[in-house]
Each structure stands twice: as structure tokens, then as C-alpha cells.
A and B are shown apart, each in its own frame.
Chain A
């Protein structure tokens, strides 16, 4: 065995050592976690042996470092060397302690110090879930746990080199955080709906739960670093309960990583990636998730990077071209289908009197108007499950849109004006009919209400 430089002492200064678990073992312990009578963590790490004794390095570990070590954020080397003093003890096979030595960390035999990246490479024993739950809520520990599920993003000012600074403007940092949070919160709601839609027969209940989830798990800022502006955010999965629902608990634990993978790591220059987003999310969902993100990515003053918790590997997320942006977030507009100028004999039937003159071969545009999205104004719109088809006519320079089943008849001096009128009428009847109980409605209106509920996928 190696010679140890230090002061021999009578006993280790830890009373009532109680074994928690062998963290590393092979045909016997290699690294073992104990607690003493005060509840402090004490590690025994096998470092040497001879014919009759095994030598152990004994050192204290605080709860946060224990957590970091088990979660691969701190090496065994750092765990040991952050102590000013450690102990070595030689133990025989009857567990009799000998040669207990207090060692200044600077005098520790170099080969007893683990290698640089001596991270814990095994599964964290299940008992630690309970172990950590019993630790009082230390702010740093709370943050450490949230950082486990955090998304790390960095913005780098483009003029940094030129101006000799990597500091971002405060207002831009503020906007950046607001946009990213908006994108994430919207993703949270949308992914929750996608994941749990089958659990809800009543769409209103699903919407109410979704809103609660969005509010409860608003991301918290769990890490910041200045220079380049690096931040990490995560939903508060520690203080906020998931309602005792194991499936929701599991979902919220993974949703941040999912957001990172599905959204932040999208290559917006790749047709395949863009098509995948289009297939997975509806137009309104894409708009909610991507529009705030694109504000960030297309900011001309900084570049954006996504990273993991080590912050060592940073991946640039490139700006989104106008074509791709339009493809991803422009909401579908109504289209004129079956358009055509039809010459027909128009029979005036509106007047009570039968017309004297029959206008033969008068010009009339008779077409269909089809839309999958009803846009009312900037903040209000309806995404439809199925295209809504209306009759579109131009008569005497007036544009008409008519949907007989819903009883909507709109007109305008051009198509845009007719569309706007149509959308407002749709909005009015949707809001009126769907909020009233059936008892207050006629049979005809109940039919319209049912049709509206069937038709509307998302309303905002």
C-alpha cells in the first residue's frame, strides 16, 4: 500500500455510521454512502489494499453535492477534493479500523484522487427518491432539481466582437425571455391536449385542465449567466403537484425535453423537419408555438444557441426564412373553388311581380368559397375540423357569402369585406349558441349549435 502523509487519530469523527447503499460495488463495496448520527453524509471509497487490509478514503459530502454526483453533474474527484481534509482508514475483514489518518487534501496520495471526469455511471438507486424528498427545501437544491429538466438557451450579440463585449441589451434580453416563455407555455398546453385528449369526453373539461396546466407549470428561470446571455428554464415540477395523476406527472417530467427536441432542435432549413411540424401540429398550434420562437430566431441583433446542462455543446438555431415562416405560421385563408363566370338566364324572382323583362345571358359569378380557418381579428379565430364551404356570388358588384346550414349570409363590396362580415357573424353565433343551454334554444338552433361544436377544432 502507499504511504499516507497525515496525522494518525484515534477514531473517525463520525458517530453512529449507518450504511445507506453501496453506490459502486463489485463482489463487495467500492464506494459506499453512510450517514452519521447527525444525518451528515459520509462516503467510503476503496483506494488500496494489501494482504490483510483494505484502505478506504473517508470524506463528507453535503446533500447538494450528493445530488449533483448522482446526477452526473459533479465528479468523484471534485467531491473528494472540495474537502480541505479527508481521512484514510485501513479496515480488515472483521471490520476493525486501523491507521486512521487525517490527511490534508494537498497531501493526499495522487493516485487516490480519481480521474478528472470520474462521474457516476450507474443507475441512481431508487432509495434516493425518498432520501432527497426528506431533505428540507434548500433553494440551491431546489434549483438543481429543476435544472434536471431545464432547457438551456444562449443568445450572443452579433456586434460583440466589434464592440468588445458579449453583453446583450437588457430590453432584448427581456423580449427574448418573454417570447421563449410564450412559445414554451403554448407548447405545454398543446402537447397536454395531444397527450390526454382521449381521457376527456368533454372538450370543455380538457380545455379547463389545459389552462390550469399552462398556468401551474409556467416555466421558471432556473439558471442565468451573463456575458453571452445564457438562461435555463423549466416548469416547477417540485412545488407544483400534477393532481395525483401518474400519467400527468410523467408527462410534465418529460415535456421540456420534448419541447427541446421537437421544437428548438428543428432544422428550419430542412423540408423534412418543416413538413414534420406541419403534419404534427395544426396551423393555429404552429402559430402559437412557433411565432414567438421565430421572433427570437430572426432577431438581427443576436444569434441563438440551444445547449444541454453542461453548456459545453451548443447548437446554433438559425433564423427562419420568410418562405418557411409563412409556410409554418400563416393561417389558411379562404379559397374560391369552382370559380367561374357563368352566363345564365337570370330570372327575377325576388319581386312580387313577375318581371316583364327576362334578362337573358346576364353575367353572374357563381362559385364556392372554402376555408379551414375563420379569422375574426388579430386575437380571435377558429380552426375548423373540416373545411367550411359557403356559396359565393357576385351580383351587381356586391359580393355575397352564404352558408345555409349555419344561416350565415354576409356581403361586402369585395370578397375581403364579405369574408370579414362572414367571420364576424360566425363568431357571434358561435359565442351565443354554444354558451346557452339547449333548453333555451329552438330545435333549429340546437342543430346549428351541434354543427358548430362539431366544426370548430380550436377557438382563440
Chain B
């Protein structure tokens, strides 16, 4: 079932997913969150989910899964840096991120998937949410 409050509700509905999107244990919460970004926080890709980036990185014809409509975030800046450091150098260059942005999420911003072991989680934004208003550059990567 697609949560009707999501920003990308129509795109998700078009996928005809047979799963809950986001996962059923995604919750609204108040928390600080960290996201990779470019030196210019106003870059149009900064808060764009992967599914909407051009060209989307896809290797199979399976439908874009729900996760691709979420924004990748981390619970701490250190966890974000650690994960980035694990990518091959070429990947880091292609992703192009140079900074980490910090922001505070509120229950009105959307649904957060459970934190993974490396601190990563996805935020599925609600309609009308514009995270650029609540994020600022925290540090370099």
C-alpha cells in the first residue's frame, strides 16, 4: 500500500507495487539527519531521489523499487563519512559529493525507514516538504 501523504505518491502508484511503500515499520520522527551534498546546497540534485535523477542507474528491468523514491540519510556525520570512504575512488568521483549537509527532521517531513547497521536510512518525504529549508552544510567529506 502506498502512503497517500507521500510526495511521489503518483509515481509510486504507477509502479503497481505489491509491497508496502515505504516499509510498514517506517515512522515519523524528530531527529538530526545527514546527507551527502555538493558544495552548493542549492544544486538541483541535492534532495532529488535516485529514481528521478537523469540518467538513473539501473541494470535490470525490474521496476524501480520503492527505495529509489526515498532520500538517503545517515544518523550521524561520521557514519556518512565512513560509508563514503568505502566506495572505490572512481565511484566517489562520479557521485561528486564533497560535503555533508545536516538538518533536523520533524514528523511532518515524512516517514523514516529503520536505521541500518551503518547508520543509513531513507526518508520518504511528504508532499509539500522542501528539505533545503532545514538543511545546511555541516562539513566536508
Residues in chain A within 8 A of chain B (CB atoms): 19, 24, 26-32, 44, 46-54, 56, 76, 91-95, 111-112, 114-115, 118, 121-123
Contacts and interface: CB of A to CB of B under 8 A. Distances in A.
B50 A28 contact: yes
Given A76-B88, A111-B90, A115-B89, A27 B72 contact: yes
B59 A95 contact: yes
Size category, B interface:
20 to 34
Given A27-B49, A49-B94, A95 B61 contact: yes
Interface in B73-98: 83, 85-91, 93-95
Contacts of B55: 49-54, 92-93
Nearest to B91: A30
A29 B57 contact: yes
Contacts of B25: none
Residue picked from B53, B56, B88, B91, most chain A C-beta under 10 Å: B88
B40 interface: no
Interface of B: 49-50, 53-61, 68, 72, 83, 85-91, 93-95, 117
Contacts of A46: 57, 91, 94
A122 B91 contact: no
A24 B87 CA distance: 8
A29 B59 contact: yes
B90 A112 contact: yes
A51 B56 CA distance: 10
Contacts of B93: 111
Contacts of A27: 49-50, 53, 57, 68, 72
A26 B58 contact: no
30 contacts: A24-B88, A26-B72, A27-B50, A27-B53, A27-B57, A27-B72, A28-B50, A28-B56, A29-B59, A30-B87, A30-B91, A32-B59, A48-B94, A49-B55, A49-B57, A49-B94, A50-B55, A52-B55, A54-B55, A76-B88, A93-B58, A94-B61, A95-B61, A111-B93, A114-B88, A114-B89, A118-B88, A118-B89, A121-B85, A123-B117
A114 B90 contact: yes
Nearest to B72: A27
Contacts of A29: 57-59
B88 A26 contact: no
A24 B91 contact: yes
A93 B54 contact: yes
Sort A-B residue pairs by CB-CB distance and give the 10 closest, nearest first. Answer: A28-B57, A27-B50, A121-B86, A93-B56, A93-B55, A114-B88, A115-B89, A28-B50, A95-B61, A118-B88
Given A27-B53, A31-B88, 16 more contacts: A27-B72, A28-B57, A28-B58, A46-B94, A47-B94, A49-B55, A49-B94, A54-B55, A56-B59, A93-B55, A94-B58, A95-B58, A111-B93, A114-B88, A114-B90, A123-B117
A21 to B, nearest CB: 11
Given A27-B72, A123-B117, A54 B57 contact: yes
A123 B60 CA distance: 23
Nearest to A32: B59
Dominant secondary structure of chain B at its interface with chain A: loop
Contact of B59 (A19, A52, A53, A112): A19
A27 B83 CA distance: 13
Contacts of B61: 94-95
Nearest to B82: A121
B66 to A, nearest CB: 13
B50 to A, nearest CB: 4
Q: Name the residue among A32, A54, A115 with the largest chain B CB count within 10 angstroms.
A: A54
B59 A91 contact: yes
Contacts of B59: 19, 29, 32, 44, 56, 91, 95
Contacts of B58: 28-29, 54, 91, 93-95
Contacts of A121: 85-86
A26 B90 contact: no
B132 to A, nearest CB: 18
A94 B89 CA distance: 27
Contacts of A24: 86-88, 91
Contacts of A19: 59-60
A48 B55 CA distance: 11
A31 B87 CA distance: 10
A51 B45 CA distance: 13
- Residue in B53, B56, B90, B93 whose Cβ sees the most chain A Cβ within 10 Å: B90
A27 B69 CA distance: 9
Nearest to B83: A26
Q: Which of A31, A46, A52, A53 has the most CB of B within 10 A?
A: A46
Contacts of A92: 55
A215 B89 CA distance: 48
Nearest to B67: A27
Contacts of A52: 54-55
Contacts of A76: 88
B53, B54, B60 — which one has the most chain A CB atoms within 10 A of its CB?
B60
A26 B87 contact: yes
Contact of A26 (B60, B85, B95): B95
Contacts of B90: 47, 111-112, 114
